[in-house]
Structure 1
């Protein structure tokens, strides 16, 4: 039998198995949803170019809790602030598992902190939280690192001398250096080949994951593994990233002083040595490599992407930029760089940053969750192992929580006295047990970077502000801003 005949036979067998599986599965008290068909599930009812909008539209028909089949994969979808809060916060333990996400899982194999489950995830999270705190996460020491890196970024921006440029790579190098200093013990020069390669690989993978190719790979990984396309570049990029991290780990092993750990990697190596005789230990080389990758990816891409969205918003709404300039001049002045302690006296700037995160919604569908045991939820029963998608876009655009949810409006985060006002429906870093480890670092970076840049520069678009398009280039894992250039003019 030739290879083509074999492939056809295997495909037919898979189709029959899936038909039987979908037709006989006990659905119990799962939420309602559109009727699936074998193999494709509900894909005919979903727009491949805009999966996020399709899932959001289905929630209008089936309610805030419904079941959908993404190919052969059955998932429960949650939408709206109240529903997502009840799941991730009020029943946080039950929804604390990590669901299938092949574009990541097929690389990490469940060994990194972001995509592990059970006792491994709990052990890696406890350890990582403690070590990141020890190295200054959310404290004054990490603020000093950000301020130092911010000064290097300002120097790079001055070199543009008012000429048009794409800010993507400039911002990514600077932001990545912050998490690199925590993980690796030192920053990289901006022309260091390792840093440049890390940025290119992370940016490329984030773009692929946020494209239809990334969405389809998550649905049909076994099939797409046989076909050409950008998705194949994902795992080549992963391999190169793993090699870079492994080289740095070997350098750390050669110079390690167990009594004086320099960074996250040193601490992890010490933990590996302490538990090397324990066959059940979750601390070994691959969990080190994958956890380091997870932290590096998250710490680089999300903040850099948010800053690019912020630049676009401030250029489209020059009156907002002007008010931020005025607040910086009044509170900070020009003689020193802004500090985190200034944020309390800068409610409008703080509101703008929060509103950009809400409006841009960088990670609109969140990473998938999984229920850890049979769970009663809103009158339904979700069997243990059920994957759950939480539509964070419906949280951030919930009309019950925001007056003008589809408009950029900093007043969403200001009270009647123009003081900063928190919103419980603000979840750019997820919520509950799977809350992003780097939330405090990201919040600090966004405030210090943005205020330092606007203290020194005015952001000027190349065309008319009203022509700036804020709709994402693509929406998958992330909402990617459209490519753009700008000028930064010294104030």
Structure 2
């Protein structure tokens, strides 16, 4: 006779067996040796994915370091990560043992976006070829050299004219500053700048911001842990993929225009040089130069050369409005050493130690790239007494360095004195590593340093920034993949 209770019991047994099997398989697959860095206990399947506050990820990781030490582990879904904290640990890993950490992890979401191409997330021979070519080509067009100064200063004039159009009324500098900084990389890559009113360009800047924020959220972790499932589900991760498809279309349109007037004997910009390199290396078995790689490299250069620099400048305005007495001292030094009529140059940096110190402190406390970019171990390595196997994702927690009480006298206070000696001269600090360290050091570091100095000092030379009457600057942030950003659309007043 048919007995339903036996069927139910049998079904329950099957479910119980499946659950035990999955949990056992998960445990066996993800267990680590006693010499592996410690960390919070991971839940089955999802690991520590929901143990982190994704709106303040860097702070969560810094707090975990207080419990588990400077080298600790997390399991995000099926991916093991080791988080590195404090300067000595990061230096040992990224510099002294840099050969073991030269690669980037091949995460499913990033693979969907870049397909292993470009210069930021590529690895091996492809990365070496693309990075070497990018640096040599951009140097040819003035990257990090004095010949780039006129382009930066000319862009400031466009910006100053735009700001003057507000006639002293409050305005939100967010979009303007994005366009100002991005136009410098545009001149190097595309050979021309974009007007601030260009709708396509404005949309491109908005896409970058939106995507980088989503990529630092739990949606990214879910996609990377369960890609087959997440591909079928709606959510912000689908938005990210569409943004980068649209961004590639934008670059393809520029590439199409370039081809119409391309002359290999007279290169105008990075794209022209890349097209020549494609022709030059055609047929070579180890060549990584083709149009799809070109498109991804251009996008990488945009992100590396604009997002963090524009964010730093917005932080600069916030801190100058927050601390008007510091802004006055910066302006007084510029007035005394340069005046208000002469254009600044990089040679003036040595004459402006206080201004330089303020700019460095903005980068330190602004903490633009708090977790840098991930690395992956290419072979087993020993670090701080622990054994880290090949294939483990490494997260350099720059926050733990830039706010370390053992490295900075007042780590949570805006204090330009961190970069000044008793005589008021500028001093370098070893723990100042906002661009990370090692062989994967930020590609755009030299350009960023030049832009930050020339733009910041030019703004301070011509404008005073303050909040509208009755308002105070908000020094909170929005966490993103490569930047901790100040709030959007915060209004400023200014005077000449």
TM range (shorter): over 0.9
Q: CA deviation at 1:211?
A: 4.5
Which residue number corresponds to residue 454 of structure 1? 460
Q: TM-score when scaled to structure 1? A: 0.92
Deviates more, 1:46-55 or 1:445-454: 46-55
Aligned to 1:93, the other structure's residue is in SS state: helix
Q: CA deviation at 1:477?
A: 3.7
Q: CA deviation at 1:483?
A: 2.6
Which residue number corresponds to residue 10 of structure 2? none
1:490 pairs, out of 482, 485, 495, with 495
C-alpha distance in 2 between matches for 1:367 and 1:439 = 14
RMSD: 2.2
Pick the structure with greater CA Rg: 2
Q: Deviations over 1:442-466 (max 9, x none)?
A: 111111111111111110102557x
Aligned to 2:396, the other structure's residue is in SS state: strand
Which residue number corresponds to residue 332 of structure 2? 326
Aligned to 2:387, the other structure's residue is in SS state: strand
2:205 pairs, out of 171, 187, 199, with 199
Asked if 1:423 corresponds to 2:429, the answer is yes
Aligned to 1:43, the other structure's residue is in SS state: coil
Asked if 1:480 corresponds to 2:485, the answer is yes
C-alpha distance in 2 between matches for 1:184 and 1:51 = 35
Which residue number corresponds to residue 369 of structure 1? 375
C-alpha distance in 2 between matches for 1:389 and 1:444 = 28
Aligned CA distance change for structure 1 residues 221 and 342 (closer, same or farther; 3 Å): farther
Conserved? CA contact 2:152–2:451, under 8 Å: yes
Asked if 1:233 corresponds to 2:239, the answer is yes
Conserved? CA contact 1:88–1:431, under 8 Å: yes
Q: CA deviation at 1:214?
A: 4.5
Which residue number corresponds to residue 257 of structure 2? 251
Matches for 1:190-339 after TM superposition, within 5 Å: 190-214=196-220, 216-339=222-345
2:353 pairs, out of 347, 368, 381, with 347
Which residue number corresponds to residue 80 of structure 2? 74
Which residue number corresponds to residue 162 of structure 2? 156
Asked if 1:380 corresponds to 2:386, the answer is yes
Which residue number corresponds to residue 414 of structure 2? 408
Count residues in correspondence. 480
Q: CA deviation at 1:34?
A: 2.2
C-alpha distance in 2 between matches for 1:20 and 1:128 = 45
C-alpha distance in 1 between matches for 2:88 and 2:331 = 36
Asked if 1:440 corresponds to 2:446, the answer is yes
Deviates more, 1:479-488 or 1:446-455: 479-488
Q: TM-score when scaled to structure 2? A: 0.91
Q: CA deviation at 1:286?
A: 1.4
Q: Deviations over 1:114-144 (max 9, x none)?
A: 0001111111111111111111111111111
Structure 2 unpaired stretches of 5+: 1-13
Matches for 1:5-24 after TM superposition, within 5 Å: 19-24=24-29
Which residue number corresponds to residue 6 of structure 1? none
Which residue number corresponds to residue 171 of structure 1? 177
Q: CA deviation at 1:224?
A: 3.5
Conserved? CA contact 1:372–1:385, under 8 Å: yes
Deviates more, 1:44-53 or 1:439-448: 44-53
Q: CA deviation at 1:37?
A: 2.3
Conserved? CA contact 2:118–2:296, under 8 Å: yes
Aligned CA distance change for structure 1 residues 299 and 219 (closer, same or farther; 3 Å): farther
Q: CA deviation at 1:238?
A: 0.7
Aligned to 1:97, the other structure's residue is in SS state: coil
Q: CA deviation at 1:254?
A: 2.8
Which residue number corresponds to residue 37 of structure 1? 43
Aligned CA distance change for structure 1 residues 203 and 43 (closer, same or farther; 3 Å): closer
Deviates more, 1:16-25 or 1:250-259: 16-25
Conserved? CA contact 1:15–1:38, under 8 Å: no
Q: CA deviation at 1:318?
A: 0.9
Q: CA deviation at 1:80?
A: 0.8
